Structure 1
Amino acid sequence: MARGLLSWASLRKICGSHYYIQARLPCVRVKYLFFSWLAVFVGSWVIYVQYSTHTELCRAHDCKKIICDKYKKGIIDGSACGSLCDKGTLYFGKCLSNKPNNQVYRGMWDESQVILKCRLEEPFHFDLDSNMEPRKEMVLFDKPTKGTSMEEFREMVYSLLKAKLGDQTNLQKLLKLVVTVADGNKDGHVSLAEAKSTWALLQLNEFLITVILQDKEHTPKLLGFCGDLYVTEKVHYSYLYGLTIPWVLEFFIPSGLRRSMDQWFTPSWPRKAKISIGLLEFVEDVFHGTFGNFLMCDVSANNIGYNVKHDLKMIDMRKVVPEVSFKQLIGGRHCETDVDCVYGTDCRTTCHQSKKQCSTELDQPNLTKVCTLLKDYLLNGAPPDVREELEKQLYSCIALRGVAGQMEMEHSLILNNLKTLLWKKISHTKDS
């Protein structure tokens, strides 16, 4: 009897376990299916977003078609037109665009790696505002018109330069430089098609800055142009920290972790010091330079690169703007608060509450913005014997304020002190 009861109890236990397992299995399946569906959904969404963004941002085919159609019709010409449209020796590679209207690509020109930049929209006049007007095919290359003499073209360019840079004493020198660049085939004269290309390019702020700073070490070399497409040298490292992350992943990485990751992927400290010296020299290049003062309105790691020798090169100079143009436009802007008086990310003025207009005096000079960017970059891993003085110099730089004319001497002193401190530390090393 006891044996029978034991057997029955054992059977019930086994059967109970069997039913329990059967009851659990549907739950496990449901969870498995749910997470599988979730993974497929998220993956599909990421792929869709990447594809949609890629097709919007990367339109090399449209860029080439528009340019080459105009070239083959004889409307435009330039030193890169034949290679792009006839020979096929200049071609688009990896897409680097971050805005639909500003097409940027790595590419090849013969055996050299290059960067191609092309606009698919044009700005409304020389506007510092981010709003863009759709590109008008019929009027993009409308000037100069047929019958325009070379002297009239020079007057057009001179007036444009004066409007953008102010009444500089040496604008004739810059005019001569622009005309030299316009002569794409170097035959000694500028054709109407070359003049149309040059006029379109001069509407682009970055192209003008590139021409102005062509003799400076930290500006990528201008290699050629066709219409409003232009080609510059490739910069090997296109991010200050040496680490780039796909923009989709940026959403999932906390800002604190992102800053830590940046610091993990940096060159050795002597090389960081050399790159930093280059950035300080660029500040000198644009501060009361040959053709006026320029403002750095987007000082971020994304806009700064360097070559294999760790010489700094500017990647994106669209937000390096002439001070004269900036003041003309920002000074008349309506505002309610100081937030309305910002261009780019780093050029800020104050809002006059009584006038409801933005002032023209910047809150921070270029040097202060650069020192803010370099603070963590340089202090992380700095040698003990230089760290205290370096920190003191950087914080003095970040605290720099005041009216431009009054702080010019202090600006120059701090800049030179920083360069000297860094150079003394690395001058004896192979990285220098």
Structure 2
Amino acid sequence: MRRRMVIKTPEGGLERLYSVVSGGMLYPRNPTGLYKWLMSSRLKLLLLCTFAIMFTFFSYDTVKRKVPRRVIRCSDSASQLFLQELCDNYTKGLASGSFCHPLCSGQVIYKQCLGHGITPHVLKASWKGNDIILKVKKVLDKNLTLNASLTESNQFDRNYFNVNTNQSYVQYILDEKGINMEILDYMYSECAGHDDGILSYQKMWYCQALLAGEFLLSILLKDSQNVPKLYGTCGHVFAVEDVPDEMLEGKFLDKRPWTTKVKLALALLDMVERLDNTPYGTLYMCDIKSENFGVLTTDSGYLIKPIDLDFSWLSSQMKQVMVKESEKWCTKDSECGFKACRSKCDHWTRHCDPDFYTNNLINICRLIFTTNARIFKFGLFDQGVPRNIQVRLSLLLQDCSTPSSEPSPPTSSSMIRDLRQILHDSINLT
């Protein structure tokens, strides 16, 4: 759409007739001299190409930031087929575990696959009227041989299991703390099964998939109220309670009432204190994001549990993880550490420091309480903070979320106390 208008120019007060296009650009109706050169075809082509490149760049950047990557989820049919094959192995005596009978006798009702990727690894089901989560661990390559000699009957004896499990898995995690016989008995009964109690090669093959990480932590911390309840195993699958994760979703946090935010924050501080003081030392959570925490409602508020312990380690194992990370070449601190567990770059050696400079409290403060701009998430305290505590809370959070200058920093009990106090005061809790 064009319209004609008269605009006065500074050139001797003369008036020229201009056309105005819908985009707002003005150009002379009868171009002469400089205007003809500006509108020449060669320059127009150059300007058009420049505009196209800029438009393409900014459009791609916007789409990359705002449109999530397409997530491939495992299909329900593949998940149900996987469970059927596992139950077939249980019937043949090739798989065992305390949860095989409920899983394979119709007591467990499959609901959906929650995992990403083609292979099922996180499934949702119901059992005894409650939702549960089935976690599938990757088994060893069948072509690999287990590091042990079998008896004449092609079985592992109990003594081998105790020694091998303690040395190969538990000692790696617990270091000098060791393990008691009660836990070894539980692990053996899960691996060998309650029916015949025989630890065959196939059962041990399944068992080694479980003993390497999250399942072992679930056993060691089974008495902690901040770890999902463990119901049992079947082959390389273990079942835990389903703890809903919607309460801490970033897109809803800014709409939560202030009282709800305070109770969630207090529950997070309680969780930090308990996981910092387990019987086996601190459990360091290195994959801290809102969707990795589940929330249960209690009479006094909320109970928060980490629902993904794949990147969580006890103290001695955490040191080994960071030593491995120190092999990285670096130029800045942000290149060092493992996920939320941050380290520093030694600018003389250009290698990462084998120590870590964050703890659970620091990571909760910087990744949950405040905005995590890197992943575009709302912080719990980004909006809705009462005016009378805004400055005090802001200063506390700034201090709380700053990585320590000292390696392996212990959680500051005074910081937790101050945070609790200001949150209690804000809603007049006693």
Structure-2-length-normalised TM-score:
0.68
Alignment match of 1:112 (pick from 106, 130, 134): 130
- Classify the secondary structure of the residue corresponding to 1:396: helix
1:64 maps to which of 77, 83, 86: 83
Aligned position for 1:129: none
Alpha-carbon separation, structure 2, partners of 1:228 and 1:188: 17
Correspondence for 1:230: 238
The structure-2 alpha-carbon separation of the partners of 1:427 and 1:112, relative to structure 1 and needing over 3 Å to count, comes to farther
Structure 1 distance, partners of 2:195, 2:383, is 53
| 1:263 correspondence with 2:253 | yes
Partner of 2:329: 336
Larger displacement relative to structure 2 (75-84 or 99-108)? 99-108
Match for 2:113 among 77, 85, 95?
95
Matches within 5 A, 1:121-136: 121-122=138-139, 136=141
Native 8 Å contact 2:73 2:116 kept in 1:
no
Q: Higher relative contact order at CA 8 Å, sep ≥6: structure 1 or structure 2?
A: 1
Which residue does 1:162 correspond to in 2?
Answer: 171
Counterpart for residue 369 of structure 2: 374
- Please state whether the residue corresponding to 1:331 is helix, strand or coil: helix
Q: Any unmatched runs of 5+ in structure 2?
A: 1-66, 371-378
**Deviation of residue 155 (structure 1)?**
1.7
Deviation at 1:107, TM superposition (A): 0.6
The answer as to 2:179 corresponding to 1:172 is: yes
Deviation string 1:32-81 (CA, Å, 9 cap, x unpaired) is: xxxxxxxxxxxxxx9xx66xx23479841353145224323312211111
Give aligned pairs, total.
340
Contact between 1:206 and 1:318, CA under 8 Å: does it hold in 2?
Answer: yes
Q: 1:100 to 1:210 in 2, by over 3 A?
A: farther
Relative to its length, the structure with more helix (as a share) is 1
Please tell me the root mean square deviation across aligned C-alpha atoms, in Å: 3.4
Q: 1:201 aligns with which of 198, 210, 222?
A: 210
CA distance change for structure 1 residues 110 and 166 in 2, over 3 Å: closer, same or farther? same
| 1:174-222, Cα deviation, whole Å (9 max, x unpaired) | x52242254359969954267665443111x221222222222221111
Residues 165, 191 of structure 1: alpha-carbon distance in 2 compared, 3 angstrom cutoff: same
Q: Which residue of 1 aligns with 2:314?
A: 322
2:44 counterpart of 1:54: no
1:239 aligns with 2:239: no
TM-score normalised according to structure 1 size: 0.68
Distance 2:142 2:318 in 1: 28
Conserved in 2, the CA contact under 8 Å of 1:239 and 1:303? no
* Structure 1, unaligned runs of 5 or more: 1-45, 123-134, 243-258
How far, CA to CA, are the matches of 1:195 and 1:427 in structure 2?
Answer: 55
Cα distance in 2 for residues equivalent to 1:221 and 1:424 = 33
Name the CA distance, whole Å, in 2 between partners of 1:76 and 1:380.
51
Given that 2:221 and 2:278 are in contact with CA atoms closer than 8 Å, whether structure 1 keeps it comes out as: no
Matched, 1:74 2:93: yes
User: 1:313 matched to which residue of 2?
Assistant: 305
